[in-house]
Structure 1
Amino acid sequence: MHVSRPRTRRLFFGVFAAAMLAAGGTMIAATPAVAAAPCTDVDVVVARGTGEPGRLGLIVGDPVYSAIDRRLTGTTSTSHAVDYPASISPTSPAQGNRALVEHVTAQAQACPDQRFILVGYSQGANVVGNALGISSQGAAVGSPVVATIPAAVQPRVAAVLVFGYPLRKLGRGITGEYAARTLDICANRDVVCDPLGASTLAHLSYSGDATRAATFAVARL
């Protein structure tokens, strides 16, 4: 699909903020409105990156969900954008952490057979990791864990997909219960996740990993 030049500039500027957090930039993004999801077979829950436009996120969430949905046969799905600021406010990742857990917990109660795929990009990866009990405190736009997915719901999380995860910059990642269900993609030289990285463009490259991520997730349903 053709993307107009002004939209491309807005996209680059929005996601550029995520790549330049360590330099102290400021970016506040509007929180998208989210409707309650019906009881489908799979709910794909996405935490977008800092300032990233798009309902689920133009760099990661939108292309990844589209790729997942195309691969599902005889399986219904919905997508949910985590309702949080996705800004560099110190409270933003904690708000996302809580909102993600509240959504998954409510869906799990309302839909006993529903399974979940969790997707996070940049700050959104911190949000996802925190919801799994992996603190992102000390990482770029990180925070302590404020809520975790209940133990009874954990087996229903089929896959975890994280991209440009700031915790990787510190040599850490998702471990424990969810490790085998996690695909953690960090582009070579990504300024946000690669300990040796300095490339902003690498941090903007993850749309090209949508097929790989979708294949991983659908294989675990």
Structure 2
Amino acid sequence: MIRVPKKRLLSAAAALGLAVTGLTVAAAPAATAAPCTDIDVAVARGTGEPGTLGLIVGQPVFQAVQTRLLPRSVSSYGVNYPADLIQPASVQRGNTDLVNHVRTQAAACPSQRFVLVGYSQGANVVDNSIGISSAGAVVGGPIAATIPADLAPRIAAILLFGNPIRAIGRSVTGTYQGRTKDYCALGDPVCQPLGTNILAHLSYGGQAGDAASFVAGKV
């Protein structure tokens, strides 16, 4: 397997952070899951993304899923974490928050099911939360918490975009493999060894419709 130097991947991630930071958007108010909707979409945004769900992937994917699943009720939750390049515990904080959110919602809403969405660093958050360590990947880290096994059947679908663990030859296996769609655009240096096109890493919003169709087939 060809390995891409972590320094190069960090440079790509930094470029992404600068790219999205330069976008002029108003920060969204904190999004919380509605009390017991049919489906809760929990989103871990990418590094430096503005907005609670993230501008590049989270918001368009949530809107597409919400529309596709009508007339079922769909709520969103933006994972509360720094999504930062320089805070070493950024991924672990997101990992802990996502697992806590699923546990809390599952207890309060016995019929609710979940869709987990992660983009870039946010994909590492989701990986860790389902028991796939992102340690060693760009902006990754060791697992801090995992979704309890008894709640696994309620995770209807998982959507990952620009997932950094792919660049080190890792992927989602085991319990959640058949419920996961993992997008890696051609040339994306964050998820593809020897990728050189940072614009590819900014392209995933175009997959929102396909992602929503995948979710619809799982719920």
TM bin (shorter chain): 0.7 to 0.9
Which residue does 2:216 correspond to in 1? 218
Query: CA offset at residue 99 of structure 1?
Result: 0.2
Name stretches of at least 5 consecutive residues in structure 1 with no aligned partner.
Answer: 1-18
Identity percentage of aligned residues: 57
Which residue does 1:63 correspond to in 2? 60
Query: CA offset at residue 20 of structure 1?
Result: 6.0
**8 Å contact 2:28–2:51 — kept in the other structure?**
no
Query: CA offset at residue 102 of structure 1?
Result: 0.2
Name stretches of at least 5 consecutive residues in structure 2 with no aligned partner.
Answer: 1-7, 22-26
**8 Å contact 1:159–1:182 — kept in the other structure?**
yes
- 1:173 counterpart SS class: coil
What's the TM-score, normalizing by structure 1?
0.86
Which residue identity lines up with residue 173 of structure 1 in the other structure? S
**8 Å contact 2:28–2:52 — kept in the other structure?**
no
Query: CA offset at residue 36 of structure 1?
Result: 5.1
Structure 1 residues 32 and 48: alpha-carbon distance in aligned structure 2, compared to 1, 3 A threshold: farther
Structure 1 residues 23 and 57: alpha-carbon distance in aligned structure 2, compared to 1, 3 A threshold: closer
- 2:52 counterpart SS class: coil
**8 Å contact 1:31–1:86 — kept in the other structure?**
no
Q: Deviations over 1:9-51 (max 9, x none)?
A: xxxxxxxxxx962468496989963435310000000000000
Q: Deviations over 1:24-83 (max 9, x none)?
A: 849698996343531000000000000011231111000001110111133111000000
Which residue does 2:10 correspond to in 1? 21
CA RMSD, 1 decimal: 2.1
Which residue does 1:107 correspond to in 2? 105
Does residue 171 of the first structure (1) align with residue 160 of the second (2)?
no
- 2:190 counterpart SS class: coil
- 2:176 counterpart SS class: helix
Structure 1 residues 108 and 205: alpha-carbon distance in aligned structure 2, compared to 1, 3 A threshold: same
- 1:90 counterpart SS class: coil
Which residue does 2:145 correspond to in 1? 147
**8 Å contact 1:22–1:140 — kept in the other structure?**
no
Q: For this pair of structures, how many residues does the alignment match? A: 203
Which residue does 2:4 correspond to in 1? none
Which residue does 1:199 correspond to in 2? 197
Which residue identity lines up with residue 71 of structure 1 in the other structure? R
Once residues 160 and 20 of structure 1 are traced to their aligned partners in structure 2, the CA distance between those partners, rounded to angstroms, is 24
